[in-house]
Copies of this chain bind each other. A is one copy, B any other.
């Protein structure tokens, strides 16, 4: 058995110097034929080893009967054989010292248990030979920067030449790789490379992301993600990318249950909670998009332009109606629009009435006759406005298209601020389209994508402020008790745990008789609340277990009897255990939750409490722990923030206390880590002078001894 000295690097896999094609043929109708032709047509300048026992040469290249017959070990071998031949072939590749096998073969781990077992076996074989695997169930790769057109997708023949550029795309979907390759090509977006990673049996999304980021020709890496194997590694890579001035842009399937289910049967990826992924991306500056086609185009615009500075968006178009619709859509999509400076207005005054100096500016709304000078002046004036941070031009069928386009290309090349060019002409204006492609000015064709491109520029501008590259520093005080409880945590237990972390809870006394309760109430001072303690009960109020606003002893005794009855009903045979609690003043109720999201780690989730929980679904999630500053950002992002901040002139509440409490809870989550299944504080009441956890429950696993 021959074994390589060391594994090939992933960077070398995506830019291989030699490629073995198992099953090579001249027939373009066959898989092995398409790959071979694409490699040749797109000028691969490394060595190609066709392997086909029936042929001496294929497409003019010397052909070899088997992997074992190769004169040298190839960097990579492409394998698209039926599953039955896979083990033997992978072994032969290993024996031959192949650096990496790209396994196209599908119906493995994503398909059946037998497939998963076979997949595990080929990984084992590969490991034995220090050989890497791409796939299985993948579609190859297209790396213009290395002249590698190693895929059977017919879009490669369509494209004629691969448009080189600084956007990479790592895809968990093979079909999307082909689809996005053509979208990029047709919208003037040059690629440094794209790869379909399939089931990620060995090499995964992070490996290829890293490999593309290492390439000098890559500025933005796009990702289509179904499931993330290692969130922590992803985080490190993303932060390193940012530090190097590069960007990650991602679409992730599984925002909804329906999407999750579909992703699961596609590449056997457990999608994981989208909100945990979203929180992770925010922490490490990864930009999210909702549509793959749009992602590759918008990423091209991001990669081709300078970053967006301070200010708003200015749009020029040649349709008053189109402009009005854009104004509406910007307002609805929260796209900030620029107000022209007086200097800009004066410059526009030569041709446009003040009443027509809108943003969007309709070029057609000028005074007097049509001259290109009018358009040119307007474009320069608006683009030059210091308050304009991004410039949008929407070209619909309009007068003076060639001159206007030439002007815009000139401005784009100045690279002063990002330009989003919208060629909204369908198939009309083919000359302009070609001119844009020739100029290397990436463009969108629809308003939807224009808004997404602006969103990406805006999100990128905001990302630095929102990122949390480092863990927050620990607050003073928090500590776990020596003996941790296990299983369902009742309210008193949950509160004791929180108290240990410095989270304020109402003063309370657990009582087992009316007499004890009366003594406790006197000590706490009226008014008080009674709460029946019953394990496993989530909505205590619904079962009559909570009696608030008890003003005196007579009321207390009556309420005690009622709660005792409710306990007997909820948990027959249970002894009455009733908590007597201090009443807390009014305020705004939050819900604070902790969830353990597997590889994503413990998460803290804050939302509007009370009736808002279900009505508003107004929640925000971050990985624990969070600092009080991050907690404040979370609160500010809630729709109910105005209530905390003193809506309608009311005195603002004690937001600092709320932030502190959230941070402390998040540390509890971080410290308990995977022992903590879930934890919920509902409500966390924020008053004018504090933030108090009025209720709590949770579930803890036993410590792993």
Contact = CB atoms under 8 A, between A and B. Distances in A.
Given A262-B324, A325-B291, A175 B319 contact: yes
B266 A327 contact: no
B616 A292 contact: no
A286 B323 CA distance: 23
Nearest to A352: B265
12 contacts: A153-B397, A175-B398, A178-B396, A183-B426, A253-B327, A254-B324, A265-B358, A291-B329, A291-B447, A293-B447, A611-B647, A615-B616
Contact of A324 (B186, B226, B365): B226
A356 interface: yes
Interface string A395-409: 011100000000000
A448 interface: yes
Given A291-B448, A331-B256, A323 B266 contact: yes
A322 B292 contact: yes
A637 to B, nearest CB: 14
Interface of A: 107, 111-112, 153-155, 158, 171-173, 175-176, 178-179, 182-183, 185-187, 224, 226, 251, 253-259, 261-263, 265-267, 290-293, 318-325, 327-332, 337, 353, 355-356, 358, 360, 362, 364-365, 367, 396-398, 424-428, 446-448, 539, 542, 611, 614-616, 639-640, 642-643, 647-649
Contacts of A154: 397, 428
A649 B253 CA distance: 35
B356 A265 contact: yes
Given A322-B176, A611-B643, A112 B353 contact: yes
B327 A261 contact: yes
**Sorted from nearest, which 6 A-B pairs have the closest CB atoms?**
A173-B321, A175-B319, A266-B320, A259-B328, A253-B324, A256-B331
A568 B642 CA distance: 30
B324 A182 contact: no
A542 B649 CA distance: 8
Given A226-B324, A258-B330, A319 B176 contact: yes
Contact of A318 (B175, B424, B427): B175
Nearest to A176: B321
A454 to B, nearest CB: 15
Greatest chain B CB density within 10 A among A332, A364, A448 is at A448
Nearest to A267: B320
A397 B157 CA distance: 12
Contacts of A255: 328, 331-332
A642 B616 contact: no
Contacts of A186: 426-428
- Of A187, A323, A337, A360, the most chain B CB neighbours within 10 A belong to A323
Nearest to A291: B447
A427 B158 CA distance: 9
A267 B175 CA distance: 46
Contact of A262 (B112, B226, B323, B647): B323
**Most-contacted residue by chain B among A253, A328, A331, A365 (CB, 10 A):** A328
A428 B180 CA distance: 11
Given A176-B321, A253-B321, A290-B329, 11 more contacts: A158-B428, A175-B322, A175-B364, A187-B426, A224-B321, A226-B321, A256-B328, A262-B360, A615-B616, A615-B643, A616-B616
A198 to B, nearest CB: 11
A425 B476 CA distance: 58
A256 B398 CA distance: 26
Contacts of A175: 318-322, 364, 396-398
Given A179-B319, A324-B259, A365 B226 contact: no
Contacts of A178: 396-397
A382 to B, nearest CB: 15
